[in-house]
Amino acid sequence: MPQIPLFLITGYLGAGKTTLLKNIINRQADNRKIAVVQNEFAPSGVDGMELKRTGKPFKILELNRGSVFCICLFADFYRLLSALIDEYKPDVVIVEVTGLADPIAVAQLLETPELKARVYLKHVWCVVDVAAYSRYARKIKQVIHQILVADTILLNKCDRAAPDEIELVKKETIALNPFAAVETVSFAGTNPDNIFDAQFSASVAGRVGQETPCPRPPVETAVLRQAGATTRQALETFIGKYAATVWRLKGFVRCREGNVSVQLVFGDLKITGAGDYDGPTEIVALGDEFDAKTMHEDFARLFPPFLATCIEI
């Protein structure tokens, strides 16, 4: 069986990885059989739901309880990926990893005999949130490693950043990884067609040396689920209480005024209509300072007289 090209999407929390993946699916899914492996830190399918809203044909495998680059998940990753390849016979595999993943060891991982027989690493995208870069990049080693292994660095959300800020982030990323192509974009708006059509060449990830991967960061996570509906005002009050202490909050919420999609990235909140969403309310929160128990109690008050469920890791 020939090796299948594997494309990797990395980037920190809220950088725009899922938006990039949606763009790729919209452009490529009608011409190629795409298998998607979506890796979330918390046990939630919020991002998978977002992808399915494209209406395009693809097969998805969700691994939502840690990083696929962690040795504890490797056996599951290999077994489930192999089953996906055997069943679906995709032309390409695209892996979107959690924003908390450290992909420095991806080249070594894909060199293991089990995976090397099935896939090869063709291209790595790293999505960088230019507007939030200065708040986290210099303090979090995972972000540096994500930039180091990238073939293409997308400096995203340039519509929200000043020109001098964009130029500073561009200089820093080029200094870290002079081998990568660097694009300044908004809404992850790159054209990946030539990358899919190009002949295979060695990925930057194979040239980053033998640096030791980072351990799992100390992050509090919570998944909040509820079948009922709340009000838009109550939802905004709830999110406002945690906006300063939660790094990332995302999901879908059933509101009496109409269902909505919620995206919070380091204090920047977006609530947009999601009239095509018909599932339950589901919110994922990640951070290092919020109290999950208190969040659970506050969330439950949004849906009286029902009780919400909170799953913590």
The secondary structure of 2-61 as a DSSP string is PPEEEEEEEESTTSSHHHHHHHHHHHHTTTS-EEEEEE-SSS--HHHHHHHTT----EEE
> Does residue 215 fall inside a structural domain?
no
- Asked if 163 and 300 sit in the same domain, the reply is no
| Residue 263 domain-assigned (yes or no) | yes
Q: For residue 77, tell me if it sits in a domain.
A: yes
Are 242 and 154 members of one domain? no
Q: Which two tokens stand for residue 138?
A: 């210099």
Q: Are residues 192 and 266 in the same domain?
A: no
Single residue among 207, 230, 260 that ends a domain in this structure:
207
Residue 254 lies in a domain: yes
Q: Is residue 114 situated within a structural domain? A: yes
On whether residue 214 sits in a domain, the answer given is: no
**Closest among 109, 99, 124 to 217, alpha carbons compared:** 99
Whether residue 296 is found in the same domain as residue 199:
no
Q: What is the CATH number of the domain that holds 225?
A: 3.30.1220.10
Pair 186, 52 in one domain:
yes
Please indicate, yes or no, whether residues 194 and 247 belong to a single structural domain of this protein. no
- Residue 82 belongs to a domain: yes
Return the SS3 of 142.
Answer: helix
Which of 207, 229, 257 is the C-terminal boundary of a domain?
Answer: 207
**Same domain assignment for residues 198 and 231:** no
Q: Is residue 155 helix, strand or coil?
A: strand
* Shared domain check, 138 and 258: no
The CATH number assigned to the domain holding 131 equals 3.40.50.300
pLDDT in tens, 207-241: 554 555 555 555 677 788 888 889 999 999 999 88
| Cβ atoms of 287 and 224 closer than 8 Å | no
Give how many domains the chain has, as a whole number: 2
Residues 225 and 96 in one domain: no
Do 81 and 181 fall into the same domain? yes
Q: For residue 128, what are the domain limits? A: 4-207
The most distant pair of C-alpha atoms in the chain lies apart, rounded to whole Å, by 59
Domain boundary among 207, 230, 264: 207
Are 197 and 243 in a shared domain? Answer: no
| Residue 212 forms part of a structural domain | no
Helix (H, G, I), strand (E, B) or coil at 127: strand
Residue 206's φ and ψ, nearest 5 degrees, are -80, -5
Answer yes or no: are the C-beta atoms of 80 and 63 closer than 8 Å: yes
- Residue 14 sits in the same domain as residue 83: yes
Sorted by sequence, the CB contacts under 8 Å of residue 35 that are 6+ apart come out as 58, 59, 60, 61, 84, 85, 88, 90, 92, 93, 94
What pLDDT tens digit does each residue of the chain (313 aa) get? 678 999 999 998 889 999 999 999 999 999 999 999 887 755 555 666 778 777 888 998 887 665 555 555 667 777 888 899 999 999 999 998 888 777 766 666 777 777 888 888 889 999 999 988 877 766 677 788 888 888 999 999 999 899 999 999 999 999 888 889 999 999 999 988 888 876 655 566 655 545 555 555 556 777 888 888 899 999 999 998 888 888 788 888 999 899 998 888 777 888 989 888 888 888 888 777 778 888 888 888 888 654 344 444 3
